Structure 1
């Protein structure tokens, strides 16, 4: 699974860049709650991506050794999103709810954009 780790590290790099832009937006604009929501949602998204890669690696190792794995952690990933939405609902002055939801989708957007770029670069080789 080394290619999965390479993909994950590349995705992490992109998400860290996005998070740094959000932190700058939080620090230098008056839209503090929107950027805090984006930071919270993107952090949850990064955690969920890390957790899915970890569970996928465990699943792959178990599959090659003939063992069974219960799940890929869908319940845990859903619970983290529910927790983030709950926090945004509990503190609406600090976290913008729609921004949290957009932030939760960040890892998926990064994965799709990275895949499209890799396919474009592969076709030009």
Structure 2
């Protein structure tokens, strides 16, 4: 997938190996889906933490809507049961006034759906 690269340290090491002739010059950098989905998960966590700080003035605590669903937001959407979906939507409605966390969550799920496709035109 063009545009998705490993951590900068790995990328530098691979480029150094190419420069020394230890890897072929046409070596392509790729990243596996697990690590690609990890990026939106990190974004969700940062966004949720920032939103909690802005709306409550403190870090997440028991009883804060977004804090209560922190693990649900990182789960694969199709693995959420009815109760999990309901809790997620209620907490987002109560604790995400600007829909930032919801949009991050949607982006993660969209990234996952792109990675699951076998059609290169859709993935591009």
TM bracket (short chain):
0.3 to 0.5
TM-score (norm 2): 0.37
Higher relative contact order, chain-length normalized (CA < 8 Å, sep 6+): 1
Whose radius of gyration is greater, 1 or 2? 2
TM-score (norm 1): 0.37
